[in-house]
Amino acid sequence: DTAVSQTPKYLVTQMGNDKSIKCEQNLGHDTMYWYKQDSKKFLKIMFSYNNKELIINETVPNRFSPKSPDKAHLNLHINSLELGDSAVYFCASSQEGTGSVQYFGPGTRLTVT
Amino acid sequence: SQKIEQNSEALNIQEGKTATLTCNYTNYSPAYLQWYRQDPGRGPVFLLLIRENEKEKRKERLKVTFDTTLKQSLFHITASQPADSATYLCALGYGGTSYGKLTFGQGTILTVHP
């Protein structure tokens, strides 16, 4: 069984479009995250939710809006896509607590043309 | 802001040797440090965690050390195998209200040659 799953795996779209990436975890974790990995492989946190509440919101354009319908899901909606949004987006989850291991999904490669 | 540097972007070693990867950070010390492995086209996978009050942790062929004076962590893979070839990421975490926020280094690409 896949612990953290994301859909779609690949997403190719044009500038100006709106798109969503879905994430689900079946580990029973309370905390979920979204990361962006750019072409230089830097993995940078974007958002974190704990029990459906937004906890971490890094300096991310407000075109990015996370939505957590329940503890097991954290979706990422992106409005007015730009070329610079092209990257791989990873969802992750962890238990609460300092030092908790994060379990990552397989990633969604977003290409904006 | 916190800056994390992992040693050379790429490290090439021969099978059977020990690979040593370095993670240096500036400014304030983290409450803990984690190491992850990432294979091409896949998400990072957790390997080891070491906390600020620990000097060394081991798991099978893996060993991590944490020196808060030097602001450095070393990650060792002994008896390396071609299957160990991957990108290795160090990540710093802080306690309190950071809620598990991890700050990642840029990664070191390890290639183990047969």
- Cβ of A43 within 8 Å of Cβ of B104? The answer is yes
- Cβ of A99 within 8 Å of Cβ of B32? The answer is yes
- Cβ of B41 within 8 Å of Cβ of A44? The answer is no
What does the mean pLDDT of chain B come to?
Answer: 92
Indicate whether B27 pLDDT > 80: no
Q: Can you give the pLDDT at residue B98?
A: 61
CB A68 within 8 A of CB A52: yes
In A, which residues are within 8 Å of B43 by CB distance?
4, 90, 92, 104-107
Count of CB atoms within 10 A of residue A87's CB?
19
Q: Which residue of B has its CA nearest to A58?
A: B101
pLDDT tens per residue across span A73-110: 999 999 999 999 999 999 999 987 777 899 999 999 99
Give A 23-62 residues with CB within 8 A of chain B. Answer: 31, 33, 40-45, 48, 50, 55-56
Average pLDDT over residues B72-89: 97
pLDDT tens per residue across span A35-79: 999 988 889 999 998 887 888 888 789 999 999 999 999 999 999
Indicate whether B47 pLDDT > 70: yes
User: Which of B43, B44, B51 comes nearest A99 by C-beta?
Assistant: B51
- Cβ of A101 within 8 Å of Cβ of B51? The answer is no
Residue pointed to by tokens 């040659």? B113
Using alpha carbons only, give the angle B93, A66, A33 rounded to the nearest 5 degrees. 25
- Cβ of A104 within 8 Å of Cβ of B87? The answer is no
Share of chain B above pLDDT 90, in %: 75
What does the mean pLDDT of chain A come to?
Answer: 92
Q: Can you give the pLDDT at residue B97?
A: 62
pLDDT band at B32 (very low <50, low <70, confident <90, very high): very high
Q: Can you give the pLDDT at residue A35?
A: 96
Given the DSSP bridges, would you call strands A43-50 and A31-37 parallel, antiparallel or unpaired?
A: antiparallel
Q: Which residue of A has its CA nearest to B96?
A: A98
pLDDT band at B1 (very low <50, low <70, confident <90, very high): low
Q: Bridge-partner residues for A93, per DSSP?
A: A32, A103
Count of pairs with CB atoms under 8 A, one residue in A, one in B = 65
B73 DSSP assignment? E
Indicate whether B99 pLDDT > 70: no
User: Which of B101, B104, B107 comes nearest A48 by C-beta?
Assistant: B101
SS3 category, B19 = strand
